[in-house]
């Protein structure tokens, strides 16, 4: 039976298009009930059983009829299946994902609507349906002869769909009547609910249907929704945020040159300081500060926003080092009692801003005028659309003349103007995600703990850049001291904080497993096990896979046999994912043949497969202190692709002829098969080089490589490559518990440099080759030159030491870094390199067709072109580059559509850059977690160096552990009289009488402790910060007193050094990450 079904679709541009599809109606669709006696249903069941035979699922659930004969039973509806409507899924997908929610019928109509409304929710629903343990069933009501609903002429598509849904539920009700099972329509649409009940259909709201799950009170918590009345009761003086501009007004304002747009980034040390990097009319990118919650106007970290630039009088003239301890924010709102018309959220604590600092002035000027000015901004942008912009600003305060972006261009260089500030007038795209959070400890202290009645509570995100979130919960008593996930639902302008709901519990704060899950979630690291679909793309032979000359195209001439070469690999101890191996041979003409052999991952990971899609999504392997989260399944990463010794392995080889001075004479690339002769650790390789009694071919090969690497390195340095530094930590973990037993700074060996040198050479050679073949769609990596201003604070601090950094070029910088030595302090140069690294820009992947060749430059490596080729097991960029390189040398190579489409490749680059950044941050967070675990309950006194000056504190690096923390100069106990205050001219912290100062590079002594107050006591301990206290120099009112120090020293049990036999050593940075490049 064939029907035409017409759809009205709204296109992306907003046009309405009518499409007609041929529509088949069928009479062989089953109802999904596992014991249904109807002939059609039994038939569908047995057919599915036959099809499922080869891969019989272990769950025993028939995919054609997964709905249970014994579903949940309730007093109101008896045994029932849930049939949610579209909005129920959109609003409550978090609840439906809970494994407890089973026996759900997903109507075809609902799926169609979901696909149009939210692909994210659609995919999540599909994922549940696929999970055979869940007993969810898609009932194709749109194709069922008895449930299809023709659209009436007068009917809107929405009404038609609602009717189709009710019709399907009614039919299922009749069909299942004899089995005494009720299909229960779940909808929060009052109209639909009423009409359903009028038709005699069982229907209920979401919260009603969750009553059946009374043993899971958290499900009701996940309904969220804090009422306006409750919000107002808590914030009696709150006057609300200004209205956002509509999307049309925002577009008009951007087009008319009145607004700028960019992504809001909140400073990690100050949640009240945001900034937006925006393109200005003159083509330059500039940073515009957005200070305080009032001007952020409900935008949060990562949102794409439209910003109006504030009058010049409100621009900021001081450096941005303000620091706000989040404890200050934990003061219960009810105690704040904001004054009428004030902007209570710009509550910069007095201690954080010295009396006359612009930050503090900003607080005062913001009062009163802000809402009106933003309203004026709204009016202004709207007026732009109607070409009547000029009269709009009449109601704003005296000098509150917003600055047009075009006018910023001419004056931005003038230091007197300060840095532009702005306010958010509209949100272009929200970037809300799920947040790991904990209960506001202050709230927990005063709430009705024992009560299980729903209460509204504040939760704090682990990410301190995110504002407090209000949720409604029945579990306030059990959530104290816990980590859990929350989602934001909305941020109405009447509400000071966003509103959200509880999603799921993670576990106790401070627990290693819980905290590790937190850091993975917070850094958006996909860490679930690989799905069956992905594993199905692995070689069928599994671990028994061996090289086959026929299958692997050796015989077809597509692969070179290099098994007789003396190839070896050099890696950190315990390395199991070996993606590179090397060889060198002296040639009869006195030159050298050098080969870099990289795991041939793309031989196993083909474009278009589920495994390729998963690797592209993960983008990188993530290294934590105690574990690795792989980009590729272990069978490939640590076995079939890993270039281990004594087995045949497929490789992609880059082979040069180098002269005795390591100049490239020629280069060739080919797929190969190698047979590595040895897997060395750095130490083993080094001792071979150093042992004169060894002269076997492999040792000779390593020695030649080392000799050539030194020449390559010298030439690179002469060209201006930077030797930068970052503090690195090495943990020793107890074998059984994986608890840290020791932590120390790691030392680099000569042989690390050897491997690095040839990897750089291979990456550069490959970059040239693929760019030659694919000038517009090569995947490259660039490192932009840092602007001179990035070095301002550093230069300032170096001046008293008689040192100046030359930042004009990387060569000048490299040379001035080499000269910057203090004979009295051997660590100084390393420290300077660490701080210089922090002035650098981020290196990034990009598609060659989107940049000019001048922009390809890699500043840190001093090379004109660069890419990543050498780590395909753990970086997806390298997988893409392997495909490009293969296509450059072999016309027949298949490489997938992403590599020929500039847009697709740019999108993939965005993913790669994001994942790469997140992986680095996750690694750092893991170090921080283990550092805190290590120092818990210990008190250690150590020398350190000042690495950062903040308005109310200073950062200290402790070289012996490679860790960094902050000494606060103002405590909550004495916020009014800080012992040291920020002094702008000297960029230092000075005492009121000017007698004491703390400046960058200064040597200090500190006591380290991890706050081990009860976990629910305060925000700091919930975030588990390492606390540092100053011992030397002695600053009255700040340093630890002599008595206290004596007591601490007496009580301090020095951390016990590890028993060598019981520990494994973990280097927190993979050598590849040392490059940062
Ligand atoms: Zn049936």
Residues composing the chain: 1077
pLDDT at 18: 55
Over its C-alpha atoms, the chain yields an Rg (Å, rounded) of 32
The rounded Å distance from CA 48 to ligand 1 centre is: 14
The rounded Å distance from CA 569 to ligand 1 centre is: 62
The rounded Å distance from CA 66 to ligand 1 centre is: 11
The rounded Å distance from CA 62 to ligand 1 centre is: 13
Alpha-carbon distance of 907 to 614, in angstroms, equals 15
> Contact at 8 Å (CB) between 784 and 693?
no
The rounded Å distance from CA 135 to ligand 1 centre is: 15
Instruction: Calculate the alpha carbon distances from 600 to 594, 604, 675, 872, 952 in Å.
Output: 18, 8, 13, 8, 53
The rounded Å distance from CA 192 to ligand 1 centre is: 25
The rounded Å distance from CA 111 to ligand 1 centre is: 21
The rounded Å distance from CA 82 to ligand 1 centre is: 16
Burial of residue 540 (CB within 10 Å: 0-12, 13-18, 19+) is exposed
The rounded Å distance from CA 128 to ligand 1 centre is: 22
Report the percentage of the chain scoring pLDDT > 90.
Answer: 37
Q: What are phi and psi of 973, to 5 degrees?
A: -70, -30
The rounded Å distance from CA 39 to ligand 1 centre is: 8
The rounded Å distance from CA 181 to ligand 1 centre is: 11
> Contact at 8 Å (CB) between 212 and 81?
no
pLDDT at 359: 34
The rounded Å distance from CA 140 to ligand 1 centre is: 13
Alpha-carbon distance of 1053 to 923, in angstroms, equals 29
The rounded Å distance from CA 146 to ligand 1 centre is: 13
Alpha-carbon distance of 988 to 600, in angstroms, equals 53
Which residues partner with 743 through β-bridges? 731
Alpha-carbon distance of 965 to 197, in angstroms, equals 62
pLDDT at 343: 29
The rounded Å distance from CA 659 to ligand 1 centre is: 79
The rounded Å distance from CA 126 to ligand 1 centre is: 22
The rounded Å distance from CA 201 to ligand 1 centre is: 18
Residue ranges in the chain modelled with pLDDT below 70: 1-23, 52-59, 224-238, 269, 317-400, 409-416, 442-453, 724-750, 970-978, 1011-1025, 1051-1077
The rounded Å distance from CA 41 to ligand 1 centre is: 5
The rounded Å distance from CA 750 to ligand 1 centre is: 72
The rounded Å distance from CA 144 to ligand 1 centre is: 12
The rounded Å distance from CA 113 to ligand 1 centre is: 25
The rounded Å distance from CA 43 to ligand 1 centre is: 10
**Closest of 785, 783, 778, 784 to residue 906, by C-alpha:** 778
The rounded Å distance from CA 45 to ligand 1 centre is: 10
Instruction: Calculate the alpha carbon distances from 952 to 135, 352, 425, 948, 989 in Å.
Output: 57, 5, 31, 11, 8
The rounded Å distance from CA 879 to ligand 1 centre is: 49
The rounded Å distance from CA 104 to ligand 1 centre is: 15
The rounded Å distance from CA 59 to ligand 1 centre is: 21
Q: What is the pTM of this model?
A: 0.71
The rounded Å distance from CA 203 to ligand 1 centre is: 20
Which residues are CB-neighbours of 106 under 8 A, at least 6 positions away? 84, 125, 129, 136, 137, 138, 139
The rounded Å distance from CA 34 to ligand 1 centre is: 8
The rounded Å distance from CA 63 to ligand 1 centre is: 14
The rounded Å distance from CA 174 to ligand 1 centre is: 10
The rounded Å distance from CA 455 to ligand 1 centre is: 43
The rounded Å distance from CA 238 to ligand 1 centre is: 57
The rounded Å distance from CA 35 to ligand 1 centre is: 8
**Closest of 273, 338, 317, 308 to residue 400, by C-alpha:** 308
The rounded Å distance from CA 74 to ligand 1 centre is: 22
The rounded Å distance from CA 179 to ligand 1 centre is: 9
The rounded Å distance from CA 121 to ligand 1 centre is: 28
pLDDT at 349: 29
pLDDT at 433: 84
The rounded Å distance from CA 93 to ligand 1 centre is: 27
pLDDT at 732: 61
The rounded Å distance from CA 32 to ligand 1 centre is: 6
The rounded Å distance from CA 31 to ligand 1 centre is: 4
pLDDT at 639: 93
The rounded Å distance from CA 27 to ligand 1 centre is: 12
The rounded Å distance from CA 415 to ligand 1 centre is: 77
The rounded Å distance from CA 52 to ligand 1 centre is: 20
The rounded Å distance from CA 103 to ligand 1 centre is: 14
If DSSP codes are grouped into helix, strand and coil, which group holds residue 755?
A: helix
The rounded Å distance from CA 392 to ligand 1 centre is: 65
The rounded Å distance from CA 36 to ligand 1 centre is: 5
**CB-CB neighbours of 912 under 10 Å:** 23
Strands 182-186 and 270-279: what pairing? unpaired
The rounded Å distance from CA 37 to ligand 1 centre is: 7
The rounded Å distance from CA 23 to ligand 1 centre is: 23
The rounded Å distance from CA 185 to ligand 1 centre is: 18
The rounded Å distance from CA 459 to ligand 1 centre is: 47
The rounded Å distance from CA 68 to ligand 1 centre is: 12
Q: Encode pLDDT of 751-792 as tens digits.
A: 778 898 999 999 999 999 999 999 999 999 999 888 887 888
The rounded Å distance from CA 58 to ligand 1 centre is: 24
The rounded Å distance from CA 65 to ligand 1 centre is: 9
The rounded Å distance from CA 78 to ligand 1 centre is: 18
The rounded Å distance from CA 188 to ligand 1 centre is: 27
pLDDT at 931: 80
Q: What are phi and psi of 394, to 5 degrees?
A: -60, -30
Alpha-carbon distance of 726 to 838, in angstroms, equals 9
The rounded Å distance from CA 157 to ligand 1 centre is: 28
Listing DSSP states for 157-193 in one string gives: HHHHHHHHHHHHHHHHHHHTGGGT-EEEEE---HHHH
The rounded Å distance from CA 101 to ligand 1 centre is: 21
**Closest of 926, 596, 916, 619 to residue 783, by C-alpha:** 916
Alpha-carbon distance of 358 to 316, in angstroms, equals 6
């Amino acid at each position: 039976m064939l029907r035409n079904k017409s759809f009205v679709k709204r296109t992306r541009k907003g046009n309405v298009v009518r499409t007609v599809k041929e529509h088949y109606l069928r009479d062989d669709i089953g109802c999904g009930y596992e014991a249904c006696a109807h002939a059609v249903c039994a038939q569908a069941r047995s057919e599915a059983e036959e099809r499922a035979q080869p891969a019989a699922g272990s769950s025993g659930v028939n995919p054609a009829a997964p709905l249970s004969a014994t579903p949940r039973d309730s007093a109101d509806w008896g045994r029932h299946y849930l049939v949610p409507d579209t909005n129920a899924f959109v609003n409550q997908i978090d609840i439906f994902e809970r494994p407890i929610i089973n026996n759900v019928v997903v109507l075809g109509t609902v799926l169609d609507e979901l696909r149009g409304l939210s692909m994210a929710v659609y995919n999540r629903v599909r994922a549940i349906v696929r999970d055979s343990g869940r007993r969810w069933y898609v009932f194709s009501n749109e194709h069922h002869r008895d449930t299809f609903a023709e659209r009436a002429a007068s009917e809107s598509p929405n009404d038609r769909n609602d009717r189709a849904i009710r019709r399907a539920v009614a039919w299922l009700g009749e069909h299942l009547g004899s089995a005494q099972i009720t299909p229960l329509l779940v909808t929060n649409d009052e109209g639909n609910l009423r009409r359903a009940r009028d038709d005699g259909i069982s229907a209920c709201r979401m919260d009603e249907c969750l009553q059946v799950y009374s043993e899971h009170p958290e499900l009701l918590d996940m309904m969220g929704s804090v009422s306006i009345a409750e919000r107002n009761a808590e914030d009696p003086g709150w006057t609300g945020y200004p209205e956002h501009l509509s999307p049309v007004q925002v577009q008009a304002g951007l087009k008319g040159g009145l607004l700028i747009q960019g992504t809001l980034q909140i400073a990690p040390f100050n949640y009240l300081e945001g900034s937006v990097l925006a393109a200005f009319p003159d083509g330059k990118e500039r940073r515009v500060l957005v200070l305080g919650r009032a001007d952020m106007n409900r935008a949060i970290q990562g949102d794409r926003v439209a910003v109006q630039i504030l009058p010049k009088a409100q621009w900021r003239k001081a450096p941005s080092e303000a620091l706000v301890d989040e404890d200050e924010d934990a003061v219960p709102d009810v105690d704040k009692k904001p004054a009428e018309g004030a902007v209570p959220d710009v509550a910069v604590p007095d201690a954080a801003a010295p009396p006359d600092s612009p930050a503090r002035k900003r607080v005062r000027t913001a009062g009163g005028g802000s809402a009106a000015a933003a309203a004026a901004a709204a009016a202004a942008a709207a007026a732009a659309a109607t070409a009547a912009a000029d009269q709009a600003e009449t109601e704003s305060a005296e000098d509150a003349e917003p600055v047009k972006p075009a006018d910023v261009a001419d004056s931005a260089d003038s230091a007197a103007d300060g840095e532009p500030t702005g306010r958010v007038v509209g949100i272009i795209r929200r970037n809300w995600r799920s947040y790991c959070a904990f209960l506001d400890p202050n709230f927990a202290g005063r709430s009705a703990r024992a009560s299980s009645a729903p209460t509204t509570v504040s939760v704090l995100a682990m990410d301190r850049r995110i504002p407090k979130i209000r949720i409604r919960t029945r579990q306030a008593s059990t959530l104290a001291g816990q980590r859990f996930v929350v989602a934001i639902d909305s941020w109405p302008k009447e509400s000071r904080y966003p509103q959200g709901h509880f999603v799921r519990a993670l576990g106790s704060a401070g627990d290693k497993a819980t905290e590790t899950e937190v850091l993975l979630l917070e850094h958006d690291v996909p860490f679930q096990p690989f799905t069956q679909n992905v594993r199905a793309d692995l070689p069928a032979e599994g671990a028994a896979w061996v090289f086959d000359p026929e299958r692997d195209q050796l015989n077809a001439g597509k692969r070179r046999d290099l098994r007789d070469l003396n190839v070896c690999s050099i890696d950190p101890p315990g390395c199991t994912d070996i993606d590179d191996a090397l060889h060198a041979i002296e040639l009869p003409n006195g030159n050298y043949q050098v080969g870099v052999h990289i795991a041939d991952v793309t031989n196993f990971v083909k474009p278009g497969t589920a495994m390729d899609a998963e690797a592209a999504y993960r983008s990188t392997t993530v290294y934590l202190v105690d574990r690795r989260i792989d980009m590729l399944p272990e069978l490939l990463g640590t076995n079939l692709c890993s270039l281990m010794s004594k087995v045949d392995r497929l490789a992609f080889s880059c082979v040069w002829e180098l002269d005795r001075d390591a100049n490239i004479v020629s280069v060739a690339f080919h797929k190969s098969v190698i047979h590595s002769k040895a897997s060395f650790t750095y130490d083993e390789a080094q001792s071979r080089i150093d042992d004169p009694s060894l002269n076997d071919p492999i040792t000779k090969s390593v020695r030649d490589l080392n000799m050539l690497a030194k020449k390559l390195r010298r030439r690179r340095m002469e060209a201006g490559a930077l030797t930068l530094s970052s503090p690195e930590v090495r943990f020793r973990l107890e074998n059984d518990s994986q608890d840290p037993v020791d932590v120390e700074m790691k030392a680099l060996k000569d042989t690390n440099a050897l491997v690095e040198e040839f990897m750089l050479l291979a990456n550069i050679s490959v970059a040239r080759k693929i760019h030659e073949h694919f000038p517009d769609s090569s995947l490259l990596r660039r490192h932009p030159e840092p602007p001179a201003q990035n070095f301002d604070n550093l230069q300032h601090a170096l001046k008293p030491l008689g040192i100046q950094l030359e930042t004009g070029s990387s060569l000048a910088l490299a040379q001035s870094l080499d000269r910057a030595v203090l004979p009295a302090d051997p660590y100084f140069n390393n420290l300077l390199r660490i701080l210089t690294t922090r002035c650098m820009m981020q290196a990034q992947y990009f598609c060659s067709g989107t940049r000019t060749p001048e922009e390809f430059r890699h500043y840190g490596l001093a090379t004109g072109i660069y890419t990543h080729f050498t780590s395909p097991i753990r970086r997806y960029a390298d997988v893409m580059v392997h495909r490009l390189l293969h296509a450059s040398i072999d016309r027949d190579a298949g490489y997938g559509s992403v590599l020929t489409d500039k847009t697709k490749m740019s999108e993939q680059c965005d993913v790669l850059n994001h994942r790469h950044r997140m992986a680095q941050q996750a690694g750092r967070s893991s170090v921080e977690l283990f550092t805190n675990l290590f120092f818990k309950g210990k008190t250690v006194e150590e020398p350190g160096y000042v690495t950062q000056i903040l308005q109310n504190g200073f950062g200290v690096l402790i070289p012996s552990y490679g860790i960094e923390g902050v000494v606060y100069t103002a405590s909550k106990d004495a916020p009014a009289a800080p012992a040291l205050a920020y002094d702008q001219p000297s960029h230092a912290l000075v005492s009121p009488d000017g007698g004491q100062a703390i400046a960058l590079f200064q040597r200090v002594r500190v006591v380290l402790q991890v706050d081990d107050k009860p976990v629910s006591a305060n925000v700091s301990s919930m975030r588990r910060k390492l606390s540092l206290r100053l011992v030397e120099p002695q600053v009255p009112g700040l340093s630890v007193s002599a008595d206290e120090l004596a007591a601490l020293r007496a009580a301090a049990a020095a951390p016990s050094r590890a028993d060598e036999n019981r520990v494994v050593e973990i280097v927190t940075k993979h050598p590849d990450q040392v490059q940062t490049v």
